[in-house]
Amino acid sequence: MRRVWAKNSEHNLSLLAGAVAFYAFLSLVPLLAALVMSYGLVADPTSVAAHMRLLIDLIPADAAELIYSQLTQLTQSAAERKGIGLAVALLVSLYGASRASGAMITSLNIVYEEKDRRSYLRWTLVSAALAAGAIAMGVVGLTAASMLSLSGSLFFDLGPAGAAVLQILSWILAAGLCIATLGGIYRFAPNRADARWQWLSLGSGVATLLWLGATIGFGLYVTRFGDYDATYGSLGAVVVLLLWLYLSAYAVLLGGLINAETERQTARDTTTGRPEPMGKRGATVADMSAAYETDDPNVPGAAESAQRSDKATE
């Protein structure tokens, strides 16, 4: 945790979160469009807004109003698209949404202390794949939530207790999908040897809790104390949305930093495949254990680890 605190400043996590938030803002409409059209392949796209109500109610009111209005417009246009027109529109939306994932890739490379040596084509494909994976998780979540709600109304006489249980199950489902999505981002976004899933779970869980806490806290602040309309006028809703995206991006990057320093905490190989010695694992945080980052000759393996770290750097 001391290293996380120090690296937070060293990597300028706040500045990185601002950059991710900006690109996420630019990608918001294409991302929502891709989500609506993808969901339209398995269900009625006009029901997306209703099924996203659980999430939209969490977001600060001004930001939620912007998102809901965009969803309303997108569902109307998506319902009219069929066949090849739908496929082309979906690809265009996916490309637009990949700008946010591209910013996240660059930021996580900094967090994991990696240099991205992938070609532009491969980098673009990875960025699009991450965006598509996030959209797929969203479709799964929407479908599961609608099925859960439908089964509850068909087979059970839901009273107050039943409704509360259904709400809790929805939250558990949403949290699980969020953790899985973040784990996939942490694993495939940085240009490094893939980390084992167990070394991604802590940061994914912490990032989910931080995002939820920041969203609820910021929503309460905006509702009760912050009057952005008085300061920014008609731009108040845009500012609120950008600030919420900033807090969300910060939570995700902080979760990645926790994962990185958790890997650095052990001398064991945290990457997939056959275990390799330090210096040959293809990941900076896995090749340089913090336990051996010392010049103290009394620490076992310090000299050997320093030599391996030097070779890895070269």
Query: Which residues, other chains included, contact 149 with Cβ-Cβ below 8 Å and sequence gap of 6+?
Result: 166, 170
Domain tally, the chain: 1
In a domain, 285, yes or no: no
| Residue 168 included in any domain | yes
Q: Does residue 120 fall inside a structural domain?
A: yes
Residue 97 lies in a domain: yes
Residue 154 pLDDT exceeds 60: no
Q: How many CB atoms lie within 10 A of CB 247?
A: 19
Instruction: Give the tens place of pLDDT for each residue, 226-254.
Output: 677 777 777 888 888 899 999 999 999 99
Query: Phi-psi category of 97—alpha, beta or left, where left has phi over 0 and alpha has psi -120 to 50?
Result: alpha
Tokens of 240: 């609120």
pLDDT digits (tens, 9 = 90+) for 80-123: 666 666 677 778 788 888 889 999 999 999 999 999 999 999 99
> Three-class SS of residue 182?
helix
3-state helix, strand, coil in the chain (%, to 5): 75, 0, 20
The verdict on residue 212 lying in a domain is no
For residues 286-297, average pLDDT: 65
With respect to residue 59, please indicate whether it lies within any of the assigned structural domains: yes
Q: How far apart are CA 19 and CA 205, in angstroms?
A: 23
Does pTM surpass 0.85? no
Q: Which domain holds residue 47?
A: 2-192
- Phi and psi dihedrals of 296, rounded to 5? -70, 115
185-211: pLDDT as tens digits:
999 999 999 999 999 999 999 999 999
50, pLDDT greater than 80: no
> Is 104 inside any structural domain?
yes
Are the C-beta atoms of residues 210 and 247 closer than 8 Å to each other?
no
Quick one: tokens of 128?
A: 């699009």
Q: What tens digit of pLDDT does each residue of 138-152 get? A: 777 777 766 665 555
Identify whether 110 is part of a domain. yes
